[in-house]
Amino acid sequence: MKTNAIVAGVGMTTFGKHLDEGLKAIGGQAVRAALADAGITGAELDAAYVGNAAAGLVTGQESIRGQVILRGIGLGKLPVINVENACASASTAVHQAAAMVTAGLYDCVLALGVEKLYHQDKRKSFAAFSGAVDVEMIREFMAGLDRRAREAGAGAASSGAGEKRSMFMDVYAAAARNHMERYGTTVEQFAAISAKNSRHGHLNPRAQFRDELTVEEVLAEPMIAEPLTRPMCSPIGDGAAAVVLVSPARAARMGITDPVRIRSVVLHSGWDRGPDEEDAARLCAREAYEEAGVGPEDLSLIECHDATAPAELLAYEALGLCPAGEGGRLVDEGVTTIGGRLPVNTSGGLLRKGHPVGATGIAQIVELTEQIQGRSGARQVEGARVGLAHNGGGAIGSDAAAMCVTVLSN
């Protein structure tokens, strides 16, 4: 979808463990920050789209999540649309908000992503991920993961998925082992992605983890699911991020002279595709580039869905940064680090910034917007003009259940 929506303001909490704060407190903090950044009051909003994936399971709040959060900071009356779409909940909220602004139906819209995943009972947190597959097929799904792990001699990955860790770590571990076997990708290259993102996260005051790691330190950490050690896996977390989108006419009235525009935002679900057919991520990327009128060579930076280190490497290939099988080369050449030709996950990514699933997609938009506006401090990408966000979630068959790619530029 080609859009003309302008980013008027962004706001975000720190990501991490907020056991003493509820959804209302976390979400309200991000909304107030975005409104202040835009220089408006909540009374000026026409509508709000609120992304959340797991509140029903973790906190018990169902049905009216967005209304509860917004009323907690005194915002009522306006239409509130609750959006649930796995790890792509927040980017889907942006997709819907941008569509309404572009269609001319709304002039000023809030998109909020918010999540609380930490719970004293870790099984509740992991259940939030286990529900992001076809639950009628979950036994078959899990048995397939275990079987492939045993066949690969991956002892740590052959049991405990969904109980000791998110089952999606095992999905990514299987994809990593396949990539290594097929293309010769090494575990050191995956570890280098984790180390790179730790350097970026060290520079981000809102990141969940800010310690820097070397490749050797990443490899020395406990094994989660072969070949993934702990720093190669994104943590659960709590947090929120928000963005105010306005029409070009409203932006002009607000005096926004150097706007950041959402040029395209594309959303697809996976399907029963042929073995040589492009997947959802490749389809979204291709359409997003076409609608934005740019290509991979025009990008200044990327925020991608690095739920694991291998997921980032796979995203390099899906987004057209290199041919299939050559993601490891980009790692070795330092292309994707700050100071490289195309920095990826300057925020620290999901691996270090954190992954409160319902907030992640908008957190990516916050990072890209601030980079394009030149206000990212020590992690600023010089001359940033065009950014891409890649955010997916859930799994059905061999593909993501939801995938969203967004292109922004000044």
pLDDT given at position 377 = 97
Catalytic, out of 179, 305, 355, 390: 355
Let me know how many helices (H) and strands (E) the chain has, helices first: 15, 11
Q: How many CB atoms lie within 10 A of CB 145?
A: 20
The Cα 226–Cα 70 span in angstroms is 42
Per-residue pLDDT of the chain (410 residues; tens, 9 = 90+): 999 999 999 999 999 999 899 999 999 999 999 999 999 999 999 999 999 999 999 999 999 999 999 999 999 999 999 999 999 999 999 999 999 999 999 999 999 999 999 988 877 777 777 788 888 887 777 777 777 777 777 766 556 666 667 788 999 999 999 999 999 999 999 999 999 999 999 999 999 999 999 999 999 999 999 999 999 999 999 999 999 999 999 999 999 988 999 999 999 999 998 888 999 999 999 999 999 999 999 999 999 999 999 999 999 999 999 999 999 999 999 999 999 999 999 999 999 999 999 999 999 999 999 999 999 999 999 999 999 999 999 999 889 999 999 999 99
The Cα 167–Cα 213 span in angstroms is 25
The Cα 14–Cα 41 span in angstroms is 22
Burial 28-41, CB ≥16 within 10 A → b, else e: bbbbebbbebbebe
pLDDT given at position 162 = 60
The Cα 115–Cα 12 span in angstroms is 12
Burial of 60 (0-12, 13-18, 19+ CB in 10 A): exposed
pLDDT given at position 241 = 98
The Cα 364–Cα 40 span in angstroms is 22
Grouping H, G, I as helix, E, B as strand and the rest as coil, residue 333 is helix
Whole-Å CA distances, 245 to 8, 77, 203: 6, 19, 27
pLDDT given at position 321 = 98
Q: Is 87 a catalytic residue?
A: yes
Catalytic, out of 87, 108, 284, 404: 87
pLDDT given at position 217 = 98
Does an H or E element contain 268, and which? Answer: strand 260-268
Distance of CA 213 to the CA centre of its chain: 22
Query: Phi and psi (nearest 5°) for 161?
Result: -65, 135
pLDDT given at position 199 = 98
pLDDT given at position 22 = 94
Closest alpha carbon to 370 in 410, 312, 321, 316: 410
The Cα 74–Cα 68 span in angstroms is 10
pLDDT given at position 186 = 98
pLDDT given at position 159 = 60
The Cα 215–Cα 270 span in angstroms is 34
Q: How many CB atoms lie within 10 A of CB 67?
A: 16
Domain ranges in the chain are 6-120+236-409, 132-232
Q: Is 119 a catalytic residue?
A: no
Does an H or E element contain 36, and which? Answer: helix 23-38
Non-local (6+) Cβ contacts of 291 within 8 A are: 1, 2, 263, 264, 266, 407
Sign of CA dihedral 372, 374, 377, 381: positive
pLDDT given at position 131 = 83
pLDDT given at position 148 = 77
Token pair listed for 221: 């950490």
The Cα 208–Cα 19 span in angstroms is 14
Q: Select 6-120+236-409's CATH number: 3.40.50.2300, 2.30.30.100, 3.40.309.10, 3.40.47.10.
A: 3.40.47.10
